[in-house]
Amino acid sequence: MDYLRIQGPTKLQGTVVISGAKNAALPLITLTLLAHNPLKITNMPEVVDIKTLLKLLQNLGASCSLENHVLSVDTSTVNHTMANYDIVKTMRASILVLGPLLARFGHCEVSLPGGCAIGQRPIDLHLKALEQMGAQITIHAGYVHAVAPEGLKGAHIIFDKITVTGTANIVMAAALAHGKTILTNCAREPEVVQLCEILRDSGIDISGIGTSELTIIGTGGKTIDMVDFEVIPDRIEAGTYLCAGAITHSSITLENVRADHLDAVTGKLEQMGCTFDITESTMTIHPAPQLKHVNIITQEYPAFPTDMQAQFLALATLSTGTSIIEERLFENRFMHVSELQRLGADIMLNGHTATVMGGTPLFGADVMATDLRASSALVLAAMAAEGTTNVHRIYHLDRGYENLEQKLQALGAKIERLKE
């Protein structure tokens, strides 16, 4: 098993190119199940989660090849509708095949999902919406069995709570349904917006893109002549590198980035004293002379993203004063706190709220990654800590960050990947 050894404290400088967004690419890959033509998707991140989902598509009968961040995919040959447990157990996003498979074939069996340990993310909202569209759903032996022999039918669906994967799943199902579907209380994340934009550009009548209410006129079961497209830049990877600049008191430049997707993140960094130079596709962060404390509440987009909470918690350990970070989306998303405490961080945890007493020096230690974003928080803290930190169980990191240690090495970090 691999681990990262990091020598700190370190200073960074230079430019880092941001990869395509994993959280956009995953639903976009399942979107290709609605297409009857071969597709090329560019700016595809080459991370473990992407490769896992491509393996699932191949098991369904699709042909896929990923080379130099270009995915060539043809799902016209799909002839299986069972997404089996062996793959789905490793990644919760596999549930995104449910809507497209059911809409296209009228039946499918999809294993109940697994994934990371940050908390419960039940799929009941997906299933309830599909039932409203006429699907008959049963759960047996760990699988969702869904049938809609006459196809899915348009409906007015009100999500009880905002769900990113639920919105994406039902948007894809509605694209091939019979009649009009109205979705209310939708997620507005850039990743959902891109999915909708590609459907619109491929001829689907869809309105309300970027708002909480979408209206979709389905094709009545006919597959789509889909356009080639490019995956949007990864706003979470970008935010992580901005935090890397802030925590090491370094000016670094990000290329291939959408600053408009990062307003909540840059707003908090500005409150902490950082400044930015921004162009259409680049961002340069200038560090604060002294990081100020910050208060954060994680909420759905466009508010502060839960996927940046761990990185800011690490950053807050070096600030002046006391920072309050409240996690409102996932109940187990503070597992990195105990690992940061091993580095010397002064953090008090009370339910869904972390109180960070800033200004305590960090010292290198052995720490263990517990989920994807927690992994990056430990790397950030290690670059600011005095001495050597070994970050174990970095397979979590590899799920969503492409070439992290190489990118940080190029910026001047003393980081290397070693075998246990």
Is the peptide bond prior to 302 cis by the omega test (within 30 degrees of 0)?
yes
10-residue averages of pLDDT along the chain (420 residues): 96 98 97 98 95 95 97 96 85 89 96 53 86 94 91 97 95 98 98 98 98 98 97 97 98 98 98 97 97 96 95 96 90 83 96 94 94 89 98 90 96 96
Placement of tokens 């799902």 in the chain: 75
Residue-level pLDDT at 335: 83
294-to-132, 272, 309, 355, 406 alpha-carbon distances in Å: 43, 6, 12, 10, 30
Residue 413: what are its φ and ψ, rounded to 5°? -70, 145
Pairing of strands 295-298, 322-327: parallel
Report the alpha-carbon distance of residue 278 to residue 158 in Å, rounded. Answer: 38
Interstrand relation of 82-83 and 63-67 (parallel, antiparallel or unpaired)? unpaired
- So what's the pLDDT on residue 374? 82
Coil, helix or strand for 386? strand
Amino acid at 255: E
Maximum CA pair distance of the chain?
A: 64
| Residue whose C-alpha is closest to residue 219's, from 181, 183, 176 | 176
The residues annotated with a catalytic role in the active site are 116
**How far is 138 from 336, CA to CA, in rounded Å?**
37
In what helix (H) or strand (E) does residue 215 lie, and over which residues does it extend? strand 213-217
DSSP summary character for residue 289: S
